[in-house]
């Protein structure tokens, strides 16, 4: 069982790589280099700020775009192209397929983030000429970004299991935007009354809490991140991704592959 | 009366296997008892065809009981579309079974139901005596879908390795098996070529390769010859016969009757989701009224033999005459007496095509009348 | 041949468990991150850049920041911190993103300008904010009113207040009181009646419930500030007449000096002290009073502004 999931995951990774996904790293590298050089010309004291802010935001956005674009096709493309037929006629369970795909894409994003992290730190070194102790928090921010990818990937996969690529992209992207304002949504819900309050509260808790995973600004200002938050966010991301995957499995298990 | 080509199959009495229960002579070793060939449900009686039938003991390779699939089409008002009416079918181990029918008849639906890709509305099916989704079963079947498309970013070797992994082929022997299979289907030179560069024929071969790489007992092919040139089709036919010789069971669907006639032990005919006929090819294409066609070099039928001849036809230097089977010896003697050179002696049989059209046409005609 | 029921059960069960657990974790995260989103506001050094970054969706972003400002204000109100440090940046960013969000300027006038604990204690910033609002909304008379209000209430600059009211009165459709207020500034700025007029104007012209509650509290305080000296004067007269201070209000009533038992605007009876001073029964309920405060009374860190009925 584990072996099959592993094989599906590594094949998904291979597909992403051969689809030239990793070329996005080139665009990223250009962006970071350009920013680092430009910023070095502006006034002192904010170069670090700009590099960290820009770098981490780019890592986050590039990754989310990749997660959505590849994620929406993970299942629907296989059904459309009928490559799934020869896979499922083998002793591969449908849920193993979903889980394998998830790990494949998550792994791709993790590798992608790793290389981007190197880029960010390289740019940081260029403008600051040395690392500070507080730069360690950037790693936490990157870890949170990876957690965010897990959530977005699982959502894209969920939508891919029943919906066309276009709709999946719209849903996933919408949830990403709303999730980035999840805390505000909860505040909103707290101020509403009656039926609206119930609906808003329900929605506010179902939407992924991506705003808590965004500590980019804080680490840019060299603020520490509480270990409580690190733990809570990790647990939350795993639970949320698990939830979306269960949904995907439930849907895919009973789907007729026409 | 159509004069048909030679088929090296035993002569048997004309028999419409359907519910007539007429006496048949069965060729030893080739015939099988045909169960459940009725269209109506519930006619699942065994042994209804006379004492001469052979009883098959043990488990069937494929056993389908009342398998039905109704799709609900449409977003708002769900209109039901029946893709497969309740189907009863049994396929024995070691035979090549052909599933015939026009396009849209329900062949692919049946295969998908057997592969577990779609779920039946009712009915069951068992493969090798087990449930369809049993992983033990899945490790022993190979599937080649219609017009297959594989991960085109992989090379042939990588594709087969991947599929072998998924089918649980032991890591130690995997590479060897992959190489073996690639050689067998003739893709040895293209092993490291990405599939996106493959021609249609090469893709089909890759498809067969992935179906056999894990050495399964049963093979399911959906239109395996489609889109192939005559040489490709010949290769696939040879391969299928090879597989049968290795003791494997092959279940394939096609709408090309000549392939079915050449390869299959038994066939089933399906049309508009309904099973129209099942039987051994031998029996379905049995000869008509014991007639024989004699051909000799000459210009006309000799007067002394004219009484024996039912029909005759002259083409160039050759005469073909249709005679009754029991007059066969008299005819041959007569021709020799006349000093004529005999070219061939052929039993006259209805072809599978005729049988097929008989089964399919009434429904097509009535469908035409309805619409 | 059917979808595996085992998988269905396991997956459904896991789904429910994960959902429940995620909600619990979410609440935990919210408490950990209390106010963290808001504090990020301190890091936005340039609202103009933020406006450009919002790629044209500044209206939506303004609404989000406004919602945060209201929540922030409400939370601080209820948390008894009495501090409104983030109010200024929140309002500045909101109005930078959407200069036509009038209610934001009103908040500035009512809660940014007043001294702690009633407000953030930043009258200059409030003035700047309101002037910015006037520049962007020159035809909105309310903003001139707000400006005059700040000068009057918190800076006690009656001349500038008069100017603001005067400017406002010239806007077409302006409230007729603006002209009146401009005139009053000249001579009767210190009068309680003027104050009353202003707070009544605020109360009646604002739709926001926080602003109205605040105005109502001020009006109640003004009432007390009128009542207490009046009552103390009566007590003094009684003392003159009888030679001793009245023991309770009943004596004054029996002497025909007051029609009944005097109560404060919330209905609680005033207390008469032995030395003739009058104090309110429950000073916590009446923030902003300047008279009638019991001796040694320490006001709570944040004023208890009751919701209006």
Helix, strand or coil, per DSSP, at residue C96: helix
CB C67 to CB A188 under 8 A? Answer: yes
Chain C, residues 1-40, CB within 8 A of chain B, namely 1-4
Given 3-state DSSP classes, what are the helix, strand and coil percentages for chain A, each rounded to the nearest 5? Answer: 85, 0, 15
For the beta carbon of residue B179, count every other beta carbon within 10 angstroms: 14
Residue C54 sits at the chain A interface (C-beta within 8 Å): no
Q: How many beta-carbon contacts under 8 Å exist across B and C?
A: 12
Q: Minimal CA–CA distance to B84: which of B48, B125, B131, B141?
A: B125
**Cα-trace Rg, chain A:** 20
Alpha-carbon distance A88 to nearest alpha carbon in chain C (angstroms): 13
Alpha-carbon distance B131 to nearest alpha carbon in chain C (angstroms): 7
In the predicted model, is pLDDT for residue C47 greater than 60?
A: yes
CB A226 to CB C29 under 8 A? Answer: no
User: Cα separation of A111 and A74, whole Å?
Assistant: 18
| Test the C interface: residue of B133, B134, B137, B138 with most C CBs within 10 Å | B133
| Test the A interface: residue of B75, B104, B127, B151 with most A CBs within 10 Å | B151
**Chains linked to B by 3 or more Cβ pairs within 8 Å:** A, C
Rounded to the nearest 10°, the torsion over CA A97, A100, A102, A107 is -160
Structure tokens at C285: 């309920």
Whether this prediction's pTM lies above 0.80 is answered by: no
Mean pLDDT in residue range B264-293: 80
ipTM rounded to 2 decimals? 0.85
Q: What pLDDT digit, counting tens, does each position of A230-242 carry?
A: 999 999 999 999 9
Q: Which is higher by pLDDT, C70 or C128? A: C128
Q: What pLDDT digit, counting tens, does each position of A89-119 carry?
A: 999 999 999 999 999 999 999 999 999 999 8
Q: What pLDDT digit, counting tens, does each position of C172-229 carry?
A: 888 888 888 887 887 777 778 888 888 888 888 887 877 888 888 888 888 888 888 8
Alpha-carbon distance A164 to nearest alpha carbon in chain C (angstroms): 22
Nearest CA in chain B to A258: B118
Supply the pLDDT for residue C24. Answer: 93
Mean pLDDT in residue range B67-86: 82
Structure tokens at C122: 């930043």
Residue B116 sits at the chain C interface (C-beta within 8 Å): yes
Alpha-carbon distance A229 to nearest alpha carbon in chain C (angstroms): 7
Place of tokens 């994620």: A71
Supply the pLDDT for residue B4. Answer: 37
Structure tokens at C110: 């009512």
């Amino acid at each position: 069982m584990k072996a099959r999931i592993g094989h599906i995951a590594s094949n998904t990774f291979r597909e992403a790589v051969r689809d030239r996904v990793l070329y996005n790293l080139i665009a990223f590298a250009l962006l970071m280099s350009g920013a680092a050089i430009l910023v070095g010309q502006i006034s002192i004291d904010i170069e670090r700020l700009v590099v960290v802010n820009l770098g981490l935001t780019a890592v986050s956005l590039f990754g989310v775009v990749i997660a959505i674009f590849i994620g929406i096709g993970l299942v629907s493309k296989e059904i459309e192209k009928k490559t799934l037929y020869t896979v499922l006629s083998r002793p591969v369970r449908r849920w193993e397929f979903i889980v394998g795909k998830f790990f494949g894409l998550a792994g791709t994003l993790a590798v992608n983030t790793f290389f981007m992290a190197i880029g960010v730190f390289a740019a940081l070194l260029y403008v600051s000429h040395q690392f500070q102790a507080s730069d360690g928090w950037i790693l936490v921010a990157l870890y949170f970004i990876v957690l965010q990818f897990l959530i977005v990937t699982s959502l894209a996969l969920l939508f891919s299991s029943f919906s066309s690529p276009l709709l999946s992209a719209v849903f996933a992207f919408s949830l990403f935007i709303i999730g980035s304002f999840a805390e505000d949504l909860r505040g909103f819900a707290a101020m509403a009354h009656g039926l609206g309050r119930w609906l808003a509260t329900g929605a506010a808790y179902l939407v992924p809490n991506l705003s808590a995973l965004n500590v980019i600004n804080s680490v840019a200002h060299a603020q520490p991140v509480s270990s409580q938050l690190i733990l809570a966010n990790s647990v939350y991301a795993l639970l949320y991704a698990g939830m979306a995957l269960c949904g995907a499995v439930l849907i895919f298990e009973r789907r007729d592959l026409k | 009366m159509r004069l048909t080509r030679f088929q090296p199959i035993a002569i048997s009495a004309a028999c419409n296997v359907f519910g007539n229960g007429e006496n048949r002579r069965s060729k030893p070793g080739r015939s099988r008892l045909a169960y459940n060939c009725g269209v109506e449900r519930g006619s699942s009686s065994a042994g209804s065809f006379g004492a001469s039938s052979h009883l098959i003991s043990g488990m069937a390779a494929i056993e389908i009981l009342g398998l039905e699939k109704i799709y609900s089409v449409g977003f708002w008002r769900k209109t039901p579309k029946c893709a497969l009416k309740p189907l009863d079918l049994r396929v024995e181990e070691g035979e090549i079974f052909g599933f015939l029918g026009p396009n849209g008849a329900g062949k692919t639906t049946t295969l998908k139901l057997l592969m577990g890709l779609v779920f039946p509305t009712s009915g069951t099916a068992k493969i090798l005596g087990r449930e369809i989704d049993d992983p033990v079963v899945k490790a022993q079947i190979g599937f080649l879908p219609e017009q297959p498309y594989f991960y085109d970013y992989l090379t042939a070797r990588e594709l087969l390795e991947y599929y072998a992994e998924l089918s649980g082929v032991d890591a130690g022997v995997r590479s060897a098996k992959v190489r073996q299979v690639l050689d067998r289907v003739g893709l040895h030179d293209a092993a490291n070529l990405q599939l996106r560069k493959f021609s249609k024929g090469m893709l089909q071969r890759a498809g067969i390769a992935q179906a056999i790489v894990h050495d399964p007992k049963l093979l399911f092919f959906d239109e395996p010859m489609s889109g192939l040139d005559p040489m490709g089709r010949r290769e696939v036919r040879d391969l299928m016969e090879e597989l049968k010789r290795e003791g494997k069971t092959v279940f394939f669907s096609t709408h090309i009757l000549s392939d079915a006639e050449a390869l299959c032990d038994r066939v089933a005919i399906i049309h508009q989701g309904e099973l129209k006929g099942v039987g051994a090819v031998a029996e379905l294409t049995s000869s008509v009224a014991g007639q024989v066609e004699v051909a000799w070099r000459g210009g006309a039928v000799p007067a002394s033999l004219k009484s024996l001849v039912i029909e005759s036809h002259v083409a160039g230097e050759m005469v073909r005459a249709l005679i009754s089977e029991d007059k066969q010896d008299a005819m041959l003697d007569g021709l020799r007496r006349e000093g004529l050179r005999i070219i061939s002696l052929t039993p006259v049989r209805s072809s599978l095509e005729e049988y097929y059209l008989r089964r399919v046409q009434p429904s097509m005609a009535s469908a035409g009348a309805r619409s | 041949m059917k979808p595996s029921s085992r998988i269905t059960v396991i997956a459904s069960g896991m789904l429910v468990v994960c959902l429940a657990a995620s909600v619990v974790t979410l609440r935990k995260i919210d408490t950990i991150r209390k106010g963290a989103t808001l504090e990020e506001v301190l890091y936005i050094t340039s609202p103009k850049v933020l406006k450009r970054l919002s790629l044209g969706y500044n209206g939506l972003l303004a609404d989000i920041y406004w919602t945060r400002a209201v929540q922030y204000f409400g939370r601080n109100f209820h948390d008894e911190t009495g501090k409104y440090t983030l109010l200024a940046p929140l309002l500045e960013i909101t109005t930078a993103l959407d200069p036509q969000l009038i209610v934001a300027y009103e908040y500035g006038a009512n809660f940014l300008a007043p001294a702690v604990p009633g407000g953030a204690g930043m009258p200059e910033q409030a003035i700047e904010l309101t002037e910015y609002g006037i520049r962007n909304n020159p035809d909105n008379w309310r903003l001139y009113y707000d400006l005059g209000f700040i000068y009057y209430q918190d800076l006690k600059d009656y001349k500038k207040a008069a100017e603001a009211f005067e400017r406002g009165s010239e806007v077409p459709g302006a409230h007729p009181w603006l002209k009146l207020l401009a005139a009053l500034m000249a001579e009767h700025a210190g009068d309680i009646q003027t104050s009353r007029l202003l707070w009544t104007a605020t109360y009646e012209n604002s739709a926001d419930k926080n602003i109205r509650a605040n105005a109502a509290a001020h009006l109640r305080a003004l009432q007390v500030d009128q009542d207490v000296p009046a009552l103390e004067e009566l007590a003094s007269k009684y003392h003159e007449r009888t030679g001793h201070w009245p023991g309770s209000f009943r004596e004054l009533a029996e002497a025909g000096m007051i029609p009944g038992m005097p109560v404060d605007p919330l209905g609680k009876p005033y207390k008469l002290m032995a030395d003739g001073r009058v104090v309110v029964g429950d000073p916590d309920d009446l923030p902003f009073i300047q008279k009638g405060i019991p001796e040694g009374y320490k006001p709570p860190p944040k004023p208890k502004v009751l919701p209006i009925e």
